[in-house]
Amino acid sequence: MNGMKKIGGKSDETPQTIQEISRQNGNKSSKALYFLFFCFAAAAFFLGSINGKEQVRFPSYEESVIKAVKEVKPAVVGIKTYGGYYSHYPLEIGSGVIFRSDGYILTNAHVLLGANKIMVTLANEKTYTAALVAPAQQYDLAVLKIPATHLPYARFGNSSDLELGQTAIAIGNPLNFGWTVTVGVVSALNRNVLAGHKPYRHLIQTDAAINPGNSGGPLINTLGNVIGINTLVWEGRGSMKAQGLGFAIPANTAMKVADELLHEGYLPQFKSRVRLGVSAYDLTPGLAMEENLRIVKGVVVETVEPGSPAQKGGILPGDVITKINGHRILGVNELIARIRREKPDTVIVVELWRNGIKRTLRVKLVPAVQ
């Protein structure tokens, strides 16, 4: 019959069985689940990448430098000194590092030369007038005290453990650009340098940039420990220009000197019953050649204290002392040792060279002020 379907017979339009319908629905569900899983996995990967970038903003090396600077910066101070005719303008700028929470600061002695007023500025921009506790010109170090307590202070490391090539970070006040950070390495150890006619011994050499104003600031490692006190930069002589030659006093030396200055007010090894009244430095063959001197060993007088035995005896800055009472003086250590042997009110015979002429002076020593 036309238009009629055969009952019970097979036809292309026969409905699917329940099992077939379930199988197809199951396949569709599986595909949907796979798609959802893929979406969740992709989202997790994307979010994980973002979080990972937030957690690792810097390589581990940079993180250690940043952390060390954050730890030490609050203990670094800027120093300005005033004195002389133009008392409203800084005589010198420098840096320092707080090493005790009750306001004790370590810096370079040369930063304080000629000063009658010392101003210290902390990292929080508070400014104090500082008192000079004691200087140690022999090591170019000095201790200051400001009227403040509960201050952040720096930890000092063991400079005997330093290795060539390890990271060295300088923090200071170069050219009055406060709390500047420069990074380099420990370039050499136990360097002896003659700078400004002053001998420096056993210094740390670094290529971390050091400029005027950095003097007295800390040189630190990536652990945030002070390994040295930045002191000078060597620029070379004449046409021989240098770059990247900075020097620092080792932390072990600095802390030993600071401790002696705090407890004794002077360095016991330089204690004497008598006083000559000069500051001086070693004459070296290189310096003798540069100055066209006829001698190669001795002690060059840098300054003479007003009213001192040296001034009364006729000693002048620039004189080269070669003998005391007939004993050869090869350097500052020999001069100190020879003076320490004498008694107060003793007259010593000083042989020296001045402007290429040999002279002999008689100087009466006086008791040292304790």
Domain-ending residue, one of 145, 165, 187: 145
Catalytic residue among 95, 110, 282, 319: 110
Contact status, residue 208 vs residue 170, Cβ threshold 8 Å: yes
List C-alpha distances in Å: 73 to 97, 167, 324: 9, 17, 48
* CATH at 201: 2.40.10.10
pLDDT at 123 over 70: yes
Domain range for 80 is: 70-145
Q: Does residue 168 sit in the same domain as residue 137?
A: no
- Using alpha carbons only, give the angle 137, 335, 251 rounded to the nearest 5 degrees: 35
Annotated active-site residue 140? The verdict is yes
Q: How many CB atoms lie within 10 A of CB 224?
A: 20
Q: Does residue 260 sit in the same domain as residue 276?
A: no
Q: Does residue 173 sit in the same domain as residue 252?
A: yes
How large is the C-alpha radius of gyration of the chain?
36
Annotated active-site residue 345? The verdict is no
Helices within the chain (DSSP H only): 18-55, 60-72, 251-264, 285-290, 309-313, 332-340
CA distance 70 to 233: 25
Q: Does residue 173 sit in the same domain as residue 258?
A: yes
**Residue 38 in domain:** no
The DSSP secondary-structure symbol of 132 reads E
52-89 pLDDT, tens per residue? 444 567 778 899 999 999 999 999 999 999 876 656 77
pTM above 0.75, yes or no: no
Q: Does residue 285 sit in the same domain as residue 339?
A: yes
Q: Does residue 256 sit in the same domain as residue 280?
A: no
Quick one: pLDDT at residue 29? 55
Q: Does residue 183 sit in the same domain as residue 138?
A: no
**Residue 41 in domain:** no
pLDDT at 326 over 70: yes
CA distance 49 to 45: 6
Q: Does residue 260 sit in the same domain as residue 278?
A: no
Catalytic residue among 159, 215, 282, 319: 215
Let me know if 226 is exposed, middle or buried by CB neighbors in 10 A (0-12, 13-18, 19+).
Answer: buried
At 41, give phi and psi (nearest 5°): -65, -45
**Residue 5 in domain:** no
Contact status, residue 229 vs residue 142, Cβ threshold 8 Å: no
Let me know if 289 is exposed, middle or buried by CB neighbors in 10 A (0-12, 13-18, 19+).
Answer: exposed
**Residue 338 in domain:** yes
The tally of domains found in the chain comes to 3
Q: Does residue 171 sit in the same domain as residue 249?
A: yes
At 351, give phi and psi (nearest 5°): -100, 135
CA distance 221 to 65: 8
14-32 pLDDT, tens per residue? 455 545 545 555 555 555 5
Q: Does residue 123 sit in the same domain as residue 75?
A: yes
**Residue 344 in domain:** yes
Percent of the chain exceeding pLDDT 70 equals: 78
Catalytic residue among 95, 140, 187, 319: 140
pLDDT at 330 over 70: yes
Annotated active-site residue 102? The verdict is no
**Residue 351 in domain:** yes
**Residue 120 in domain:** yes
Instruction: Pick the more confident residue, 144 or 337.
Output: 144
Q: Does residue 246 sit in the same domain as residue 342?
A: no
Q: Does residue 278 sit in the same domain as residue 256?
A: no
Domain-ending residue, one of 80, 110, 145: 145
Domain-ending residue, one of 145, 169, 198: 145
* CATH at 359: 2.30.42.10
198-237 pLDDT, tens per residue? 778 899 999 999 988 999 999 999 999 999 999 988 776 6
**Residue 316 in domain:** yes
Average of pLDDT values for 249-258?
95
